[in-house]
Structure 1
Amino acid sequence: MKTYDWVVVGGGLVGAALSYELASKKFSVLLLEQHSTPENATRYSYGGIAYWSGTTPLTRQLCQEGIEIHRNLSAELDSETQFRELDLLLLIAQGSDPQKVTASYRGFAIPPSLLDAEAACDLEPLLNREAIAAALTVRHGNVAPDLLVKAYTQAFTRAGGTLQIAQVTALKESQGQVTVTTTAENYAAANVAVCTGGMSRNLLKTAHVTVPCYFTHAELIETPSVDVKLQALVMPAETQRFQMEAEAGKLEKAPLWEQQTQEVAPPILDPGAIQFVDGRIRIGQISRTLTNPQAQVDAAQSEADIRAAVGQFLPALKDLPGNWHRCLVAFSGDRLPLIGPVPEHNHLHIFAGFSNPFAILPPLAKRFANCMTGKQDELIAQLSPGRFA
């Protein structure tokens, strides 16, 4: 059984970036991903880099570091990520108070500017003028998520890392190392980093560890490349997802997550859309806090609901050809990620629960890898899972 310094479980953005940074520090690293064609949260994300959205010294610093990394990342990884900056339009629906909504954004590092409905439609001609009272706008980063992961993974293997396609079924820590059981073979590691997003909670349970990491079922529609041209990234100004996560992540709700038949909070629909450089559009999204990762949902009804909601604001997108998809999105109880060893398990780490992954993950992966070489980092220490103990 081969032994590595690190085994990283999960080949999405989190696992790929962390593996690359660890390998760059000359650790021997094995990256395990169960799907040759990923079906994870990274795959179905918008690829948005909300570097303007920091509200605390910690998140502002990470967002600033993150956008600086992204601006040079294609060169560093020697591979195209399709990084760009575009206008984000946060729509204020008819019936909402634009001034009140604007006030709720004043604490951000770069507060968005208020536009009247006509100016918003100038920025995005596909908007339905009658559906909005106003909009907020701010510059926003964006990458092609699949290309970013590919770039990190290729740079990881060039740095000496090993990638294997295999599903991890169990973890066991004993005598200063962790045994990783997969459907193909077993591996041993001085340290394991669980980067499996919404599946992190269930995987860590195989090592008899319970962490305050939860998940939503995120549902969206992806179109093929289309002739319709969306100029901006469009989202609602009054998003419901973070409020739902805060409710579902409350301490008193923890027992519900131990059951497989619960819906911890009512589902929400935040209508939005992004078009990538290649012409594909992602339209979303519904989020559900179903405690069973394999819970059944009515895909046809979900797709109809998404199309109807987005169609109110962007009528040209309502009937575009496209396929419904679902993935799991991890979150913690305080909107900050869980990073570091789980309590009482010094060799078993979690790296999950990112509410703004594309902005803050790249600097956190770099900082974490530096920590593992012996350098202290108070910022990483603030994100320890032990803060919930």
Structure 2
Amino acid sequence: MQSYDWIVIGGGITGAALSYELAKQKFSVLLLEQHPSLQGATRFGYGGIAFWSGTTALTRRLCAEGIALHRTLSSELGASTEFRELDLILTIAAGEDPAAIAQSYSHFAIPPRLVSVAEACELEPLLNPDAIAGALTVKHGHISTTAMAAAYTQAFTRLGGTVQFDSAKALLRSDSRVTGVVGEANTYHSANTVVCAGAFSRSLLKAAGIPVRLYFTHAELLETPPVALQLRSLVMPADTRRFQLEADSSTAALDPLWDQPGHEPMPLILDPGAAQLLNGSIRMGQISRVLTDLNAPIDAVESEGKMRQNIGAVLPALESLSGTWHHCLIAFSSDRLPLIGALPHTAGIHLFSGFSNPLAIVPPLARRFASSALGQKDELLPDLSPDRFA
């Protein structure tokens, strides 16, 4: 019976990054991923790296470490993550006060610069000048989420790591310790298991009797095939409502609802924006819903109509582009910080999930986690421990 030092559940960006960093530290690692072709948030991510957005000493430091890693990561991994730095245009809706919106960003590590309607349209000619009162702009990192996950995974296997395509059905337990994972096809044994399964992490851990304050949104977007139309920048609303939706729907009072299907703690929100990948395809959206059922039905036709109308108001040329509606789940915590580290009361089980700003901080946190697994003390990880909500 083979046993690994670590089993990592979930082969998206978080799991791939963590597997690679653990293998770099000479641990034997099994990366357990359900799909040979990635699905979920890694497959449909916009790829933005908000390294400018730290608002505390902790997040500023992690963002600084993150962008420094991104700038050299393709070379380290031996494969391109498609990293680049672009102008981010944060649109201010007509009728809103640009100065007040700009002030709300003043506490960020690199506050975005307020520009006029004319300046915004010079930076991004596809903007509708009648739809905005101005904009904020700042340099923003960008990668391909699928390329980054693939680069990490390939580097992981070169280090001797093992990838197994199987669905994690349950955690294997012996008394008060997790000793592995029960899959669809096989049972896998390990000294330590870390869950990087995004939205599915909560239900997997709950089935093992391990409660966590981890939640998820149903995110909807449209994806076009490669098009000749060119976006010069990344476009998002300055008044992004997703983060407030996450905060409002993850209070302790609402927590019991998340273990029951069929609830919608808060109404949906729509943040109209768009990003173009290097291959020319555009991902635009997005609607975010808090539905407590992982498999909740969604009317794709109605959603697509809403997204096209709202995107078209800001970027008219995108409204009628041929594209396909997609849906994925995005995990988050109740305080916008990820849940990283050993879970209380049960040995051998760890969590690495709940990232609201994943691409900026996953690489440095994966590196820090792997170093701490060797016994090296880390000054930042205790602030991200899952037991901070206990």
TM range (shorter): over 0.9
Identify which range, 49-58 or 169-178, moves more after superposition: 169-178
- 1:387 matches 2:385: no
CA contact (8 A) 2:171 2:182 kept: yes
- 1:165 matches 2:181: no
Instruction: Give the C-alpha shift of residue 177 in structure 1.
Output: 4.5
**Alpha-carbon deviations, 1:138-166, whole Å to 9, x = none?**
00000011100000000000011000111
Q: Which amino acid aligns with 2:221?
A: L
- 1:6 matches 2:27: no
**Alpha-carbon deviations, 1:82-141, whole Å to 9, x = none?**
100000000000011001100000000000000000100000000001000000000000
**Equivalent residue number for residue 345 of structure 1:** 346
**Equivalent residue number for residue 288 of structure 1:** 289
**Equivalent residue number for residue 155 of structure 1:** 155
Q: Which amino acid aligns with 2:388?
A: R
Instruction: Give the C-alpha shift of residue 206 in structure 1.
Output: 2.2
**Equivalent residue number for residue 79 of structure 2:** 79
**Equivalent residue number for residue 241 of structure 1:** 242
Distance 1:172 1:95 in 2: 56
Instruction: Give the C-alpha shift of residue 167 in structure 1.
Output: 0.5
Instruction: Give the C-alpha shift of residue 290 in structure 1.
Output: 0.2
Instruction: Give the C-alpha shift of residue 40 in structure 1.
Output: 1.3
Q: Which amino acid aligns with 1:60?
A: R
**Alpha-carbon deviations, 1:186-240, whole Å to 9, x = none?**
0111000100101110111221111000000000000000011000000000011
Identify which range, 218-227 or 168-177, moves more after superposition: 168-177
**Equivalent residue number for residue 185 of structure 1:** 186
Q: Which amino acid aligns with 1:189?
A: S
Distance 1:179 1:193 in 2: 10
Distance 1:221 1:63 in 2: 28
CA contact (8 A) 2:8 2:194 kept: yes
Distance 2:333 2:17 in 1: 20
CA contact (8 A) 1:173 1:347 kept: no
Q: Which amino acid aligns with 1:329?
A: I
Distance 1:139 1:297 in 2: 35
**Equivalent residue number for residue 46 of structure 1:** 46
CA contact (8 A) 1:190 1:347 kept: yes
Structure 1 counterpart SS, 2:239: coil
**Equivalent residue number for residue 116 of structure 2:** 116
Distance 1:239 1:196 in 2: 25
CA contact (8 A) 1:173 1:345 kept: no
CA contact (8 A) 2:166 2:183 kept: yes
Distance 2:280 2:48 in 1: 16
Distance 1:63 1:155 in 2: 23
Instruction: Give the C-alpha shift of residue 346 in structure 1.
Output: 2.5
CA contact (8 A) 2:96 2:133 kept: yes
Aligned alpha-carbon RMSD (Å):
0.8
**Equivalent residue number for residue 29 of structure 2:** 29
Distance 1:78 1:189 in 2: 29
- 1:259 matches 2:255: no
Distance 1:174 1:93 in 2: 56
CA contact (8 A) 1:92 1:133 kept: yes
**Equivalent residue number for residue 58 of structure 2:** 58
Gaps of 5+ in 1: none
**Alpha-carbon deviations, 1:24-82, whole Å to 9, x = none?**
00000000110111111111111111000000000000000000000000000000111
Distance 1:206 1:191 in 2: 18
Distance 1:121 1:345 in 2: 55
Tell me the TM-score normalized by structure 1.
0.99
Distance 1:269 1:100 in 2: 21
**Equivalent residue number for residue 297 of structure 1:** 298
**Equivalent residue number for residue 223 of structure 1:** 224
Q: Runs of at least 4 residues of structure 1 off by over 4 A? A: none
Tell me the TM-score normalized by structure 2.
0.99
**Equivalent residue number for residue 19 of structure 1:** 19
Distance 1:242 1:266 in 2: 13
- 1:323 matches 2:309: no
Structure 2 counterpart SS, 1:334: coil
Distance 1:4 1:179 in 2: 9
**Equivalent residue number for residue 100 of structure 1:** 100
Identical amino acids, percent of aligned pairs: 57
Distance 1:338 1:178 in 2: 21
Q: Which amino acid aligns with 1:75?
A: S
Distance 2:369 2:77 in 1: 18
Q: Which amino acid aligns with 2:14?
A: V
Q: How many residues align?
A: 389
Gaps of 5+ in 2: none
Distance 1:173 1:13 in 2: 27
Distance 1:96 1:171 in 2: 50
Distance 1:189 1:358 in 2: 28
CA contact (8 A) 1:177 1:188 kept: no
**Alpha-carbon deviations, 1:237-278, whole Å to 9, x = none?**
001100000001111110111210100111000000000111
Distance 1:44 1:103 in 2: 32
**Equivalent residue number for residue 89 of structure 1:** 89
